[in-house]
Every structure is written in C-alpha cells, then in structure tokens.
Amino acid sequence: MATLARLQARSSTVGNQYYFRNSVVDPFRKKENDAAVKIQSWFRGCQVRAYIRHLNRIVTIIQKWWRSFLGRKQYQLTVQIQRRWRGYRVRKYLFNYYYLKEYLKVVSETNDAIRKALEEFAEMKEREEKKANLEREEKKRDYEARKMHYLLSTKQIPGIYNSPFRKEPDPWELQLQKAKPLTHRRPKVKQKDSTSLTDWLACTSTRSFPRSEILPPINRKQCQGPFRDITEVLEQRYRPLEPTLRVAEPIDELKLAREELRREEWLQNVNDNMFLPFSSYHKNEKYIPSMHLSSKYGPVSCKEQFRSENPKKWICDKDFQTVLPSFELFSKYGKLYSKAGQIV
C-alpha cells in the first residue's frame, strides 16, 4: 500500500517526464526514419538499375542474333537471285553460239578491211619512197652535171662524152647540155658599223641608242615586301648542275689512267721483246741476214740514183723488148673526134 501511495503521489511527475522524453525523442526518430527511407530508396534504385542493365544486355543479344538471322536469310536470297541472273546472262550472251559466230564474222570482215587499207597504205608509201629516191637521184645527177659542165663539147673542141666510135652521143653529153654551170656563192662581207660623228648625230648609227638584251616586263607589278629580283631567282633555279668530284669522275679512274699510260709506253716501244742482258737463251739462234745483204748483186749504195744503169750487172747482153703493141686509139686522140653533137 505504501508503494502504491508513493506512485500515486509521483504520477504527475512521471507524466511530465514521459511527455518531455517523448517530445525530445520525436525529432531523432524522424531523422532516423528519413535516413532509413533514403537508404532503402538508394538500395532499391541500385537493384532496379542493375535489373534494367541485365534486361538491356539480354535484349541486345536477342536483337543481335535475330538481326544476324535476318541478314543471313536476306544475303542467301540475294546470292540466289545473283546466281540465277548471272547464269541466265552467261548462257544467253557470253556463250551464245550464234552470237559468237556473228561476232567472229564481223571481226574477220573488219580485219580484212584493215589489212587491205594497210596494204594500200604500204604501196602508197613505197611509191612515194621510190618517187623521192628518183627525185634525189635526179637532183644528184643534175648536181654532178652542173659540176662537170666544163666537160661539155664546144664548136672547136669536142668533149670526152662525144666519142666518134659511138652511134649516138653519151647520155651525159645531153645532160651537160641541159644543166647550168655551178656557181660558187661568194661569202657575204659583214658591213662594219659606222661610228662617225655625223651618223651618230643623225641617229643613223646602231650605236646611237642604248641596247638592252632583255626588255623588262610591261604589266608586271613589283611584289611588296623584302623579295629578291625574279631574274636572280630564275637564274639560281635553272643554273646548270655542278656535280661533285665523286660523281663527275668514274670509280675506276685510276685503273683507266694506268691502262692509258701503259698503252702510251707500248706505242713508243720499237721492239716488244723484253731485253734480257744476262740470259743465254738467244745465243743458239741462227742469224738470218736480210735480203738486201744476202743478194748476189750486193748492196746498192744510197748515193746512186734509182734509174742508173750498170751494164756489168746485167743478166744478159740484150735489152728489154716490148711484147704488146701500142694502142691506136691513143695515137688518133684529137684527130678523128666529131664536132659538137655530131658523129662523123
């Protein structure tokens, strides 16, 4: 009973403490609830996103396999259509017997026409070449006739081509009559430029005005800025190549120089045999005298004339006799020739 009385006496105090404690705990409880809700939402979001990624991966795989299946099916269909079209085209156009026969016929006709045209062209070229050769030979004969025009017959002296032993004159005689004598061109004398004071004042001399080898451009503007002159740039760009000594000279220059020196020394040698003063291989060789010294008539002195006669050295006492008679034509030269263009 005493305990109950004490509790009843403290009931108001307990109520106040209970309310105070509950009012203090409520904010912490709300904070913990909010934290728990946030953690749960984050975790569930992670679960949902992972599941969505898994579904996306699975859907991608399924789509890939399905599209590959459709692509293979479409490719097989396309290949089947191409195969049938190509087979039809080859059978109809490429390996068509009648088409090939007609094509070969046209090719043979074209070939015959081209060969005929080429033969005509070759004949025309051959005719032109023959005509050119004839014209060249005619010009050559005309030039020779002009050079030998001095051999033409005159009224007093007949020419060498107008022989009395011919029934008709030589063709060259007629050619000489048609040709004109060849005249040599005189070299042109270069007139000297007059440098007199009167010509200079009258502006008739070439030295009255200054000369310029290269005229400057008319409508060319000078580039602005520190640029070099265009003539200097072009001269430097197109200057001749200056090869180095290694490129200009061949690799075997020393060998070639030695061979050239050896060749020059060989040209100066009188005897190619090597001089061996201490060898005895040539002692057993027999001396062969020259024909000039081994003759029974003896050597001829250089002081004597070539056509001198010595009767003591003749083989026989008789003099030389002529075997063939003289030519009668040479004895009648200048006596029985005809006049110019006429045969006696």
In a domain, 176, yes or no: yes
For the question of whether the overall pTM of this predicted structure is more than 0.95, the answer is no
Average pLDDT, the chain: 77
Q: Please tell me the total count of domains within the chain.
A: 1
Q: Which domain holds residue 127?
A: 120-182
Higher-scoring residue by pLDDT: 173, 69: 69
Would residue 162 count as lying in a domain?
yes
98 within some domain: no
Least confident of 23-32, 68-77, 187-196: 187-196
Quick check: is 338 in a domain?
Answer: no
Q: Give the angle subtended at the CA of 203 by the CAs of 201 and 209, to the nearest 5°.
A: 105
Residue 156 lies in a domain: yes
Residue 223 lies in a domain: no
In the predicted model, what is the mean pLDDT of residues 193-211? 52
pLDDT at 275: 62
b (16+ CB within 10 A) / e for 23-56: eeeeeeeeeeeeeeeeeeeeeeeeeeeeeeeeee
User: Nearest Cα to 173, choosing from 4, 6, 340, 5?
Assistant: 340
What pLDDT shows up at residue 99?
A: 80
Is residue 126 one of the residues assigned to a domain?
A: yes
- For residue range 291-333, what is the model confidence (pLDDT) as tens digits? 666 766 666 555 555 556 677 777 777 666 656 666 666 666 5
Looking at per-residue pLDDT, the higher value among 84 and 250 belongs to 84
Per-position DSSP letters for 129-157, written without gaps between them: HHHHHHHHHHHHHHHHHHHTGGG---SSS
Domain assignment of residue 248, yes or no: no
**What is the structure's pLDDT at 344?**
43
Query: pLDDT tens-digit profile of 22-68?
Result: 777 778 888 888 999 999 999 999 999 999 999 999 999 999 999 99
- Give per-residue pLDDT as tens, 127-148: 999 999 999 999 998 888 888 8
